[in-house]
Amino acid sequence: MKRNILIAVVCCVVLSLAANAGTLSGSVKGAQGQSVVYLQAMQAAPAAAPTQAYKIDQKGMKFVPDLLVVPVGATVEFDNDDAAAHNVYWSSISGNKKLGKNLGTFPSGQKGTFKFDHPGVVQLLCNVHPEMSAYVIVTPSPYYAQTDQILGDYFIQNVPDGKYQAFVWHNGKTTSEPVTVAGNTKIDFALGK
C-alpha cells in the first residue's frame, strides 16, 4: 500500500514538472558562426549525472569537433586518430588556473578521458602542434544549445518554468543576462561588436 502511494506521488511530481516546462528559443544576432546558449537556474536543484558519451577526435591535425558543449559531470573521451602523437591540455577553466590540466601525449590510436566537474569555458590545446585548438563549454545545467551557424537560431527544450541566468558564448567571449522562462519563451540576444 505504501509503495503504491509513493509511486502515485512520484508520478504526480513528474507530470507537474512536465506540465510546467517549455522551450526557450530565439536567435543570437551580431555573431558569425556558432554560439552557445545555456542556462543556470537562480535556485539550482541538483542535476542528474549525465549518461551521454562525449568525444573529441584528433584527426587531420585538428580537434573534431572544435566546439563541444557538455553539462557539468560529463566525461569526455579524447581519441587520437592521426598518425602523429598529440597532446591534450588546457591552462584554465574560465580563467581559473587551478583547474588547468595536461592529459599527456597520446600516440596514434590511443585515447584519454576527463570528467569535467566545474562549469566554464575550456580552451583545448596540443603542445605538440600549437596550431590545434578547440573549446569545451561545460554548462551548469542540462539546458543548453548550439546555435545554427548561419542564422544564429537556438532551441532549448524541456526547460522548467522559472528564473535563470542565460549565458551566450561566442568565439571565446561570454555574456549573460537574467531571463524568465514561462512555457514556450522566445528571447533573442544581441552581441556587441
Summarize pLDDT for 63-120 with one digit per residue, the tens: 999 999 999 999 999 999 999 999 999 999 999 999 999 999 999 999 999 999 999 9
The mean pLDDT of 175-184, rounded to a whole number, is 93
Nine cell digits for residue 30: 551580431
pLDDT tops 80 at residue 11: no
Whether the predicted pLDDT of 16 surpasses 50: no
Nearest in space to 48 (alpha carbons), one of 14, 16, 92, 19: 14
Rounded distance between C-alpha atoms, residue 31 and residue 11, angstroms: 43
Residue 73 phi, psi dihedral angles, 5° rounding: 95, -5
Looking at residue 32, what is its pLDDT?
A: 85
- What pLDDT, on a 0 to 100 scale, did the predictor assign at position 183? 92
**Cα dihedral sign for 92, 153, 71, 38?**
positive
